[in-house]
Structure 1
Amino acid sequence: MTPIFKDPNAVLTYSIAWPPDTIGGAAISAASWSVMPDEPGGLAMSGEFVDGSETGARISGGLPGHVYRASCHIDLGDGRSADRSLLIRVDQR
């Protein structure tokens, strides 16, 4: 997985477009985001959203030189669930 680069001062919206073969025509009923490692001064999540087959969140902060895994878990209307992750490397720009 190739990391996405982020400045620690930037507040950016990241999103995941869930492919049809993952959701199989079902609606996304809930989405939750988490970040690892969870550390003081690390990435912070806010403004989580679901828009059709896309989920996203605003991500801020992070410690320069650190790599984080931002994960999104979705629940589908038909009872299934799925997870996807983004690798985010924080670099001072």
Structure 2
Amino acid sequence: MTLLVKDPGTRIDYEFDWSAAYPAGQAVTASDWSAEPDEAGGVSVAASAHDLLQSTVTLTGGIAGRVYRVTNRVTLSDGQIDERSMSVRVEER
């Protein structure tokens, strides 16, 4: 699992590249992002997007000193469902 550091005042994009994980011809057809724990002032998903190979999320907020788990769940063109997570540590910079 990837560990990233984020300032609580920033609005920043992160991306997962799904193309290396699947054989040629597979495509991302749906993508959903979530952040846990879900709490007031915590890291939240402000926006998300995907193309056939990558999925991107824009994260905002977070409480300094906390660690959040951000998960991307995708559906592939053949109906398979997969997910990846990253840890986001929030620190004042």
TM-score by length of 2: 0.92
Query: Any unmatched runs of 5+ in structure 1?
Result: none
Tell me the equivalent position of 1:23. 22
Counterparts of residues 13-92 of structure 1 (less than 5 Å): 13-20=13-20, 22-24=21-23, 25-92=25-92
Counterpart CA distance in 1 for 2:85 and 2:66 is 16
Counterpart CA distance in 2 for 1:28 and 1:35 is 20
RMSD: 1.2
Query: Any unmatched runs of 5+ in structure 2?
Result: none
Which deviations, in whole Å up to 9, do the C-alpha atoms of 1:20-67 show, x marking residues without a partner? 3x3323111100001111111101102210023110110000000000
Tell me the equivalent position of 2:9. 9
Instruction: Number of aligned residue pairs: give it.
Output: 92
